[in-house]
Amino acid sequence: MRFESIVLVSHVTDLSGPSEAVENYLKSRSKRLGVIYHPFHYCADRRSRMKEYDGAFLRREVKEGGWALPPLLTYVKDALFTLFYFLRLGGRFEVYLGADPLNTVVGVILKKLGLTRFVIFYTIDWMPERFANKWLNAIYHWLDRFCVRNCDAAWNISPRIVDVRRSQGLPDSRNILVPVGVDLEKIELPDKSATEPAALVLLGALAPSKGVDLVIDAFPSLKKRFPQLALHVIGKTPHDAVEDGVVYQPYEPRLKALGEGVVLHGAKPHDEVLAMLPGYDISLALYKPSPNNLSQWADPSRVKDYLACGLPVIITPVPEIHKDIAELEAGIVVDYEVEPLAEAIGSLLADPQKWRRMRENALAYMQSYSWSAILDGVFEKSFKA
């Protein structure tokens, strides 16, 4: 695909996700590309960012407005900055790609003003109770339905959200599944034909819903049984350590207290993560079963990164991808409990042949998930809608 002019607007975290992958795809395929990012309130750097590309060349980048505001005011600020940055970018783009309802509403308004022609509504996460505050949640869902009615194409990250859009009356021609992909060309795989697994890796924000407590509780007994075992943690406790309205303590001190064999790497850029992951052996994706866990509606990118780097994944049955992992034997699905987790990890450490078989299954599974191939297909389908 080639684009004369396109703007991407998204909220982002401290870690790379689907929006950054779309940016990377568009850089080499757009004559003129604008990118507007708004970090979530828990990010270390809260400043909204604007990037302007001429082809693949980054012409300028601006960061502004990192104020610590209440959540509602933060969203208002983000919408205003989207308008402000859009005008600074030149005020007219053929295609507007907005991730989440707030950013897409701005695109719909700009289309009605004649400043863009085609609006794509990209749903990276969705859930019935997106916000604990019932009024904020009601506004979120009103905006979500407004975007569905007024967009030219709706991109949805998981089959569950595709079903939601269908129930909202969106025609299948505009209701497009966009699974998370992987930058396969960036991954260099070592020869592990003679390797015995010994290195666990936990990637992502350190939060209760990500199963960090399970890992802390399971590691000591595993370390006694397998003295060579190491745990590598790539990520950090969010700046605003609050989940479901409850403040929690940073995890780093508890992880360090586990002693020898635990390595804390902190948060890393995505390209660096893809360079690190192939050096480990077993990955952890321990999502806590909860009505408020976004992962049950999502397609977590870290799981795809794990698999593409040849790491069998120990995963809980929360995100939809756990079904494929079980069916293809690319990892082990466990209940959200310490004992099943320790047993699953131990079974791979004790049986290198089983681990190698799952490693090969993981690599084979991800061969069809190249970001470039996925986005080529969904853009083509979008403009036929």
At 261, which CATH number?
A: 3.40.50.2000
Please, where are the H alpha helices in 248-331?
252-256, 270-276, 301-308, 322-328
Q: For residues 121 and 212, state if they share a domain.
A: no
Q: Quote the domain boundaries for residue 286.
A: 184-366
Q: For residues 311 and 298, state if they share a domain.
A: yes
Q: For residues 260 and 331, state if they share a domain.
A: yes
Which pLDDT value is given to residue 240? 76
Domain count, the chain: 2
Q: For residues 222 and 110, state if they share a domain.
A: no
Q: For residues 209 and 131, state if they share a domain.
A: no
Q: For residues 107 and 207, state if they share a domain.
A: no
- β-bridge mates for residue 188, sequence order: none
The strand ranges marked E within the chain are: 3-12, 30-39, 48-54, 57-64, 93-99, 116-123, 153-156, 175-177, 199-203, 230-234, 242-243, 246-247, 262-266, 282-285, 313-315, 331-333
Lowest-pLDDT range of 105-114, 163-172, 173-182, 290-299:
290-299
- Both tokens assigned to 82: 């989207």
Place of tokens 């900055």: 81
DSSP count for the chain of H helices, then E strands: 13, 16
Residue 292, pLDDT > 80, answer no
C-beta separation of 75 from 102 below 8 A: yes
Q: For residues 279 and 159, state if they share a domain.
A: no
Which pLDDT value is given to residue 367? 95
The strand ranges marked E within 105-225 are: 116-123, 153-156, 175-177, 199-203
Residue 289, pLDDT > 80, answer yes
Q: For residues 137 and 278, state if they share a domain.
A: no
Q: For residues 375 and 344, state if they share a domain.
A: no
Q: What angle do CA 135, 14, 310 make, to 5 degrees?
A: 115
Q: For residues 188 and 289, state if they share a domain.
A: yes
For 333, phi and psi rounded to 5 degrees?
-95, 130
Q: For residues 159 and 46, state if they share a domain.
A: yes
- Binned at pLDDT 50, 70 and 90, residue 50 comes out as very high
pLDDT tens profile 235-261: 999 877 888 778 899 999 999 999 999
pLDDT tens profile 107-162: 999 999 999 999 999 999 898 888 888 888 999 999 999 999 999 999 999 999 99
Q: For residues 168 and 283, state if they share a domain.
A: no
